[in-house]
Structures are given as structure tokens and as C-alpha cells.
Amino acid sequence: MVANEPVTHDLRHLVVQLVEPDEIKFFPGQYMDFVVPGTEESRSFSMANTPNRDGVFEFVIKIYPGGLFSEFLAEKVQPGDRLQVEAPFGTFTLRESRTSDLVFPPAELLAYISQIITLQPGDLLATGTPGGVGSARDPKVFLRPGQTMRTAIEGLGECVNLCVTEEPA
């Protein structure tokens, strides 16, 4: 913990710096879970700063009388203390695009792929979008276990995949 300053009588500005790992990617609107020391409980707080590469996260936290985490924060947490966190959580849109922007339109793609394999009803073809792939971004963006990826095509439907850790072969 870097700073824990009162903003009003019942609001705190909490600043934390990641130690291990020292950086994680997050998007506006996402949140972090803080474990309440000595308990199995955790509380969620939304990042109040913009994504950065310094591993610094800021929060505005309301103090509730008797609040498990907030009272601990108000009374016990000092700069230099270590807190256990898990992040990022929450939904964000990574890419939004139109099929009209594709280099090869869907009909052309289907015609080409049909020459190589026999497509069955229900088959899905994942082509990527012109917005770019996660591995080509800086920093790179990959799915992590526990995250859900929703791929949707307007008027057609959506496909929801939960990302899980790969079982060793």
C-alpha cells in the first residue's frame, strides 16, 4: 500500500502498487478484489485511475461503520503494508467491428474454406477482426482462466466461452 488518505469523513483514497506481478493490464470499468486479512472474505473495488504501466492502482473507498474491509482500511492499513489482491475482473469490449471492414468478405471466406473442408450446420469460423489480435498488441492481451469471452454477431447470435487452465496431456 502506497497511500491511504481520507478524502471526506467517510471516503478514502487508496493507492496501491503491485509487487508480484509488478504489472497487470486492465481496462476502464474493471475492478480488483482485496482479501480481508485473517478472513476468507474479499471485497471488490473499481479502479479509479486510468490504465498504466507502473503497476499503480487507485481507489475511492467508502468507509461503513462496522465494515469488514473498510473499517480495516480506515483503522489499520499503513503505507508499506502488503495486501493480497486479485485482478482484473469485470467486463470490457476488446474489439468491435463490422463484416464490411473484413479484407475477405464472409461469402468469399466460406466459398474458399468449403474447398478445403466440408462445413457442417453449426460450424463456426473464427477469423479475427480488423481491430488486431491480442498477441500483436503492446502490451499483449491474453485470455486468463476464469474470464469469459463473448463473441457476438449482430442478427445471428453469440458464442460464450469460459477460459480454463489447460489440462496437462
Ligand X SMILES: Cc1cc2nc3c(=O)[nH]c(=O)nc-3n(C[C@H](O)[C@H](O)[C@H](O)COP(=O)(O)OP(=O)(O)OC[C@H]3O[C@@H](n4cnc5c(N)ncnc54)[C@H](O)[C@@H]3O)c2cc1C
Enumerate binding residues for ligand X (CB under 6 A).
31, 43-46, 59-62, 64, 66-70
Q: How far is the CB of 8 from ligand X (least distance, A)?
A: 12
Say how far apart CA 111 and CA 137 lie, in whole Å: 30
Q: How far is the CB of 74 from ligand X (least distance, A)?
A: 9
All cell numbers assigned to 65? 461503520
Q: Cis peptide before 21, with omega less than 30 degrees from 0?
A: yes
Q: Which residues pair with 95 in a beta bridge?
A: none
Q: 130: exposed, middle or buried (C-beta count within 10 Å: 0-12, 13-18, 19+)?
A: exposed
Residue with Cβ nearer ligand X (26 or 69): 69
Residue with Cβ nearer ligand X (86 or 123): 86
Q: Which residue is closest to ligand X by CB?
A: 67
Residue with Cβ nearer ligand X (25 or 43): 43
Q: How far is the CB of 73 from ligand X (least distance, A)?
A: 8
Task: Identify which of 141, 29, 24 has the alpha carbon closest to the alpha carbon of residue 94.
Answer: 141
Residue with Cβ nearer ligand X (74 or 109): 74
